[in-house]
Chains A and B, each alone.
Chain A
Amino acid sequence: MDFVWDQRELILEGFWRTIQLAALAGGLSLVFGTLLAVMRVCPIPPLRWAGATYVTVVRNTPLTLVFIFSTFGLPRLEIRFSFFVFAVVALTVYTSSFVCEAVRSGINSVASGEIEAARAIGLPFRQTLSLVVLPQAFRAIVPLLSSVFIALTKNTSIAVAFSVTEATSILRRLQNQDASATFPLLIVTAAGYLVITLALSFAFSRLERRVAAAR
């Protein structure tokens, strides 16, 4: 346990990296996932097909493969970033497809009569979406998004295999230094993830209660 305590700074640094990965990929996924969902419901068929194809392909690809493509495939296309950026790209590509499906289910839950009413007062497609459909869709999918983001937080640990020094990679490094500390390290690391995901759950359930009151 002393060893774990001595290494607390390194461990915290690892978790800070984890939080950065999750927050960046989470924010970007929210944006791209919403765009994908809008593509999937828009009146232009090629955009709809593109959105549907993306989701089908990415959702059915193991995350590790997405990471391999991002970390080893992109450099082949002369696209070079740090491993951290590749990890953010991989996590965003992957998580966007789940956000998309969540948002799409939210969009489908909006009463079609309200969409008609929006068109009837003269709102064009874009404003119907941004003023009437999406605000209601997001309110409806807060619990869904919560589990998407918790999954994302845990998925950041795959970055360990791709040279990003986030929490799990710190765990592995320290464990190599002192094998006797394996269990304490595992427990501390698991607890660290738990703290992050519980904080997320807490934030989302508060959000859920707030939007429920406004509905």
Chain B
Amino acid sequence: MSDQLVALSKVNKHFGPLHVLKDIDLGVARGQVVVVLGPSGSGKSTLCRVINRLEPIDSGTITLDGRAVPAEGKALARYRADIGMVFQSFNLFSHKTALGNVALGPMKVRGRAKADAERTARELLDRVGLADKADAIPAQLSGGQQQRVAIARALAMEPKLLLFDEPTSALDPEMISDVLDVMIELAQSGMTMIVVTHEMGFARQAADQVVFMDEGEIVERGTPAEFFDHPTSTRAKDFLSKILAY
């Protein structure tokens, strides 16, 4: 299909004897938002990491824009530059300011001039609500602020796809909505996103498709309404009853 931006087909991944991804098939159309959920250890992070090939796969194919993921070297670095990734633990470069974090990729990977990269970086920091924090280093920022800088850093590469791996799980409750607001704005602007999160509100509001994983398999998929209101598998029902219990 030509409107598929990302397509995973029969993807398998092992860590030693552990079969972490089992025959994963997943297609994400351009502009779509896919929310991935599932219990801890079900392979959600690994799914994100194989998509930008921070981890190699054992079998199957992954394509971005119809092209297979390069195995290594310069081509792989360029491929990764087209995919933004936002981590649970922010992972900002701790020796650089917010501005430095956002401008680094465009300068060093895209070869843009410093002034140009910094101008764009300031616009992006403004977009995530942190225009006044450009010169702060990560240690001076709250978790929510760091995560928004991390989102700006990913956006600065003008990615085709954004991966979020539990972006709000390490945040204090009062900061979660700041980050989710930014993500919802991105989703509405037409960004293609794969988001691992248990934030049901976000899923209902922004997701086109919800994918439920357990033990390395995609057990169920559907629209947020279908999945949350009428889960079909026992595993999904169990999982939902647990996260909804409180």
Contacts and interface: CB of A to CB of B under 8 A. Distances in A.
Interface of A: 111, 113-114, 116-124, 127, 131-132, 135-136, 139, 214-215
B153 interface: yes
A117 B74 contact: no
A122 B157 contact: yes
Interface in B112-163: 137, 139, 150, 153-154, 157
A139 B81 CA distance: 28
B193 to A, nearest CB: 15
Contacts of A135: 95
Leading 3 A-B pairs by shortest Cβ distance:
A122-B81, A113-B91, A121-B105
A114 B101 CA distance: 11
30 contacts: A111-B91, A111-B94, A113-B87, A113-B90, A114-B91, A114-B93, A116-B87, A116-B91, A117-B85, A117-B93, A117-B153, A119-B80, A120-B52, A120-B84, A121-B81, A121-B105, A121-B109, A121-B153, A121-B154, A122-B77, A122-B79, A122-B105, A122-B109, A123-B77, A123-B105, A124-B73, A127-B108, A127-B109, A131-B104, A215-B94
A215 B77 contact: no
Given A120-B80, A121-B105, A121-B153, A136 B95 contact: yes
Contacts, number: 71
A121 B86 CA distance: 10
Given A121-B109, A123-B108, A136-B95, A113 B137 contact: no
Given A122-B109, A122-B157, A113 B89 contact: yes
B54 interface: yes
B218 interface: no
Contacts of B94: 111, 114, 136, 215
Interface of B: 52, 54, 73-74, 77-85, 87, 89-95, 104-105, 108-109, 137, 139, 150, 153-154, 157
A139 B109 CA distance: 24
B96 to A, nearest CB: 9
A124 B79 CA distance: 11
Max count, chain A CB within 10 A of own CB: residue among B74, B90, B91, B93? B93
A131 B101 CA distance: 11
Nearest to A130: B108
A123 B78 CA distance: 8
A26 B108 CA distance: 31
Contacts of A132: 93, 95
Given A127-B108, A131-B104, A215-B137, A120 B95 contact: no
A43 B79 CA distance: 20
A139 B94 CA distance: 11
B185 to A, nearest CB: 21
Contacts of A214: 95, 137
Contacts of A121: 80-81, 84, 104-105, 109, 153-154, 157
A123 B91 contact: no
Given A113-B90, A119-B80, A122-B79, 15 more contacts: A111-B94, A114-B92, A117-B150, A117-B153, A120-B52, A121-B104, A121-B157, A122-B81, A122-B109, A127-B108, A131-B108, A135-B95, A136-B94, A136-B95, A215-B139
B140 to A, nearest CB: 11
Contacts of B87: 113, 116-117
A203 B20 CA distance: 52
A213 to B, nearest CB: 10
Nearest to B106: A121
A180 B77 CA distance: 71
A43 to B, nearest CB: 9
Contacts of A113: 87, 89-91
